[in-house]
Structure 1
């Protein structure tokens, strides 16, 4: 009798392990990679205040969790769990364009650098600092429909994000 119980327990553990592995590989297939030049429709929101503290890319990748973003930086946050790895999206630049669904204003664009995680964001959402969001819409709008694409980070001009680490080169 004990052998039968042990066999059932082992079989249940094997089935659970296989199910867990299949679920994990299924989730991995859903994860995005950074694709330059591919336009993605989505939306943008904005954040400020305490959400600017201890930005993820510096804390997780640079072992410096004391980097606090500033609201005048043109930076963004994405839900990093939707990407193959944080390293694949941290410090990349994204050109965001408010699209034609926004009837209040003309088409506007901005380039931001991804340096933070937005755990509550949808895969096609980019959360922006208030100063970056204001380049696309008013803060009262709260949400703006956008189209975005990963681009090479500009290396000249008045950059509106931290200069360290250097933008990734592709």
Structure 2
């Protein structure tokens, strides 16, 4: 009986330690880039214009205020809706140019950490003829108007 109790206690201790390690790994893998404002994230940018600006997914959603987008706005789209109304500072590592954009839409065709910008925002840091550009971004506080 003592042997059984010993192995049961050992098994339970191992289970608790393993569960704690798995919880930390799960948490680390599920961190949103917006939760880590100091961290630069490698990504790609593209741009959108025209009717793609109409009826952005963040407009009036979950009590968020409506936002009348124009092609001259410094705005962007990312996958999912959890980034609505958050801001990014995007840097082109080749020319060191930067732009701050507000995420106001979801991008159905974007991959993880890809940002789809208005042509105006894209043009601030890259040539639109390039189409897709490697960048770094980090979450920042949105500037006041």
TM-score computed with the length of structure 2 as normaliser: 0.72
Aligned length in residues: 118
Q: CA deviation at 1:93?
A: 0.7
**Equivalents in 2 of 1:95, 1:57: separation in Å?**
19
**Equivalents in 2 of 1:41, 1:63: separation in Å?**
28
Compute the RMSD of aligned alpha carbons. Answer: 2.4
Q: Which segments of structure 1 move beyond 6 Å, counting only runs of 4 or more? A: none
Q: CA deviation at 1:123?
A: 0.8
Q: CA deviation at 1:62?
A: 3.5
Q: Deviations over 1:61-104 (max 9, x none)?
A: 34778x55210000010001xxxxx3x4211110000113xxxx
Q: Which runs of 5+ in 2 are unaligned?
A: 1-26
Q: What SS does the corresponding residue of 1:57 show, helix, strand or coil?
A: coil
Aligned partner of 1:73 in structure 2 is 73
TM-score computed with the length of structure 1 as normaliser: 0.62
**Equivalents in 2 of 1:117, 1:31: separation in Å?**
19
Aligned partner of 1:153 in structure 2 is 142
Question: Kindly tell me: are residues 79 and 29 of structure 1, through their superposed partners in 2, closer, same or farther at Cα, counting changes over 3 Å?
Answer: farther
Q: Which runs of 5+ in 1 are unaligned?
A: 1-27, 81-85, 101-105, 160-170
Q: What SS does the corresponding residue of 1:58 show, helix, strand or coil?
A: coil
